[in-house]
Structure 1
Amino acid sequence: MFTIAQRREQFAALFTRPLPADVDSSATTLGGRPALELRRAVPGTTGEDVLLYLHGGGFVVGSARATAHVTAALLRHLDGRAVSIDYRLAPEHPFPAAPDDCLAAYRELLDSGADPRRLVVAGDSAGAALVVVTLIRARDAGLPMPAAAVLFSPAVDLTLSGASMRSKDGVDPFFAPADLGWLFDQYAAGSDRSAPELSPLFADLTGLPPLLIQVGSSELLLDDAVRLAGRAGADEVAVTLEVAPRQPHVFQLDDGSAEAAAALERAGRFLAARLGGERDGS
């Protein structure tokens, strides 16, 4: 049995990639948490677009740096900067620490002058769930919504009730249901896992911005994404769902994959279009 520290080291070793040569990174803070800011080091990219990215890792592992290559890929379509925060992780800091940190980061971006019409949000897995929770909390607090959000393989049902938890068991190359259950137990720490702030699939999504949801057909969380898209549509949210055949959980992290590159290209263009202008991604 691996320790929490070993799990975090393994995650970092598996997913961390060098950043593109034309992307500068710097350490900063946002919402009281350490954060990584990315900017493109090319002429003419000094605009006001802001991307807030929330990393995945089952609420237990992961970091802003480990998924920075995905953030950088999305940033290519924007004219501005991207910020990814290291929200507090379970089990040391269970719910509601992570969503508290994410809302604080979103609020600080607005308070520091970010125009919500030029602000977009994205995340993967647990981070995608935190995107949805952050948007719900921001809406309920009377804060303006961002222009759009992208969700990669969102983990939005911590009760594991989706049919794909059974139909994709043994097909998913990364997880068995018990693996996800263990991670979610660390995060929930005895709280009701069906509560909307833990499982935003069961929340009222009315008023959220346009969503793009991408998921692989080979993952346990397939039905989380499918049902979330249905819930968003029922709540009058503009939503696009993409199911990538034979792809695993957060396949966008594989920087050597043609499918990952194409998905990130579509996601970046989705965000750029909602900001009012398509960038060439050069």
Structure 2
Amino acid sequence: MRTHGATVWHWSASVKAWFIFWFARIFIKPIMSWWPATDRGISVLSRLDRRIDKLLPRPRGVDIDAVTLGGVPGERIAPPRPATDALAGATVLYFHGGAFVFCGLATHRTVCSLLAAKSGVPVYSVAYRQLPEGSIGTSVMDAMAAYTAILAVAEDPTRVIVAGDSAGGYLAMKVAEIAALRGMTRPAAVIGFSPLLNLNLEAHDPDYMKRDAYLPMSQLEKLRDKWLDGPDHIEGAQSPVDADPGIFPPVFFSVAEYEITRPDVEIVTEAIEAAGRPVETHIWAGQVHAFPVIGQTLPEARALLDLGIDFARRAVATEDNRRTA
């Protein structure tokens, strides 16, 4: 492990992690590259979560209830034991990844359950609208509707932590940005696992971008027009990389060494650090994009979840000390 400023490098990777990396590179990436980024192809992917929901067993040790937040369907995952430390009274609002095309409550139920169990706080996971039902602007609207509703039902609205992976990390950062722009109660912290922070990914070195284990740049470039082709405007900056870094609450990022989101994670990390705001970023060798989502089977993923929760705990405690000072 090596620390440079706000960035921590992790060089060790388990045998299981390397197996997942090369399995994704050899088998998953060709399938992703071949899959048609047409309306029909997207519609098929959009039904993936419903199919997985019928196949996967529900996580044990947590209570899962269906909820609606601001008209957005979701789930509330309650931990077996409530937190008694600085996170007591906190709430996590989680946005799943999936390139604004696929995944949902079922695909991310395990990581949300682990977050709830490890932190001792309830985790709300929301099924925001995606392509082909709506563009990114629509997804952002749903995310803000869910966040506004969370502020009304959370035990302590000043202790709401917004989190997400990939596209969900984009939404978590947009919620923090828009809440600041609107003068709302801001999130206590943001946790982003391989967050998508720039919709213009083609701006980076194409040779590096090809090294992602399973995400093909060619497909994401095809999706970009669809991401932005919708009636709902994206409030604030189109990409979080272009937002004012000084308005963000404490931010925790993680990213794999070779993945398409890393360049912008590093850019935003440096910008937030330069603005004097708390930020902590972990770069991990031998991992795939959004690897914490498979936290039940991967030791590095479980370790990273613990790091993110500890960061949120410190952020909440620091804010409490500031208020009482």
TM-score w.r.t. the length of structure 1 is 0.87
Q: Measure, in 1, the Cα distance between the counterparts of 2:278 and 2:223.
A: 31
Counterpart for residue 183 of structure 1: 223
How far did residue 153 of structure 1 move?
0.5
* Cα distance change on mapping 1:47 and 1:138 into 2, 3 Å: same
1:151 to 184, 192, 207: 192
Counterpart for residue 261 of structure 1: 302
| Contact 1:22-1:42 within 8 A present in 2 as well | no
How far did residue 47 of structure 1 move?
5.2
Q: Measure, in 1, the Cα distance between the counterparts of 2:117 and 2:98.
A: 24
Q: Measure, in 1, the Cα distance between the counterparts of 2:50 and 2:256.
A: 22
Q: Measure, in 1, the Cα distance between the counterparts of 2:273 and 2:103.
A: 30
| Contact 1:56-1:126 within 8 A present in 2 as well | yes
Counterpart for residue 6 of structure 1: 44
* Cα distance change on mapping 1:9 and 1:245 into 2, 3 Å: same
| Contact 1:102-1:130 within 8 A present in 2 as well | yes
Q: How does 1:1-282 map to 2 (within 5 A)?
A: 1=36, 3-10=41-48, 18-42=57-81, 48-112=89-153, 114-163=155-204, 165-169=206-210, 171-189=211-229, 197-254=237-294, 255-276=296-317
Question: Which structure has the greater CA radius of gyration?
Answer: 2
| Contact 2:136-2:234 within 8 A present in 1 as well | no
RMSD: 2.8
Q: Measure, in 1, the Cα distance between the counterparts of 2:72 and 2:49.
A: 20
1:169-221 Cα deviation digits (max 9, x unpaired): 0x212112112222332211179x99963311111122311111000012121
* Cα distance change on mapping 1:128 and 1:43 into 2, 3 Å: closer
| Contact 1:36-1:84 within 8 A present in 2 as well | yes
Identify the structure with the greater helix proportion: 2
How far did residue 7 of structure 1 move?
1.6
1:200-243 Cα deviation digits (max 9, x unpaired): 11111223111110000121211121112112223332111110
| Contact 1:215-1:242 within 8 A present in 2 as well | yes
* Cα distance change on mapping 1:18 and 1:187 into 2, 3 Å: same
* Cα distance change on mapping 1:168 and 1:113 into 2, 3 Å: closer
Q: Measure, in 2, the Cα distance between the counterparts of 1:69 and 1:248.
A: 17
TM-score w.r.t. the length of structure 2 is 0.76
Q: Kindly tell me the number of residue pairs found equivalent between the two proteins.
A: 275
Unaligned runs of 5+ in 2: 1-35, 319-325
| Contact 1:150-1:212 within 8 A present in 2 as well | yes
Counterpart for residue 322 of structure 2: none
Work out which structure has the larger RCO, using CA pairs closer than 8 Å and 6 or more positions apart in sequence.
2
| Contact 1:37-1:81 within 8 A present in 2 as well | yes
Q: Measure, in 1, the Cα distance between the counterparts of 2:297 and 2:51.
A: 16
Q: Measure, in 2, the Cα distance between the counterparts of 1:188 and 1:48.
A: 37
Q: Measure, in 1, the Cα distance between the counterparts of 2:298 and 2:97.
A: 19
Secondary structure class of the residue paired with 2:267: helix
Q: Measure, in 2, the Cα distance between the counterparts of 1:238 and 1:218.
A: 25
Q: Percent identity?
A: 28
How far did residue 143 of structure 1 move?
0.8
Q: Measure, in 1, the Cα distance between the counterparts of 2:64 and 2:146.
A: 18
Further displaced range: 200-209 or 31-40:
200-209
How far did residue 161 of structure 1 move?
4.2
Secondary structure class of the residue paired with 1:149: strand
| Contact 2:158-2:185 within 8 A present in 1 as well | no
Letter in 1 for 2:46: R
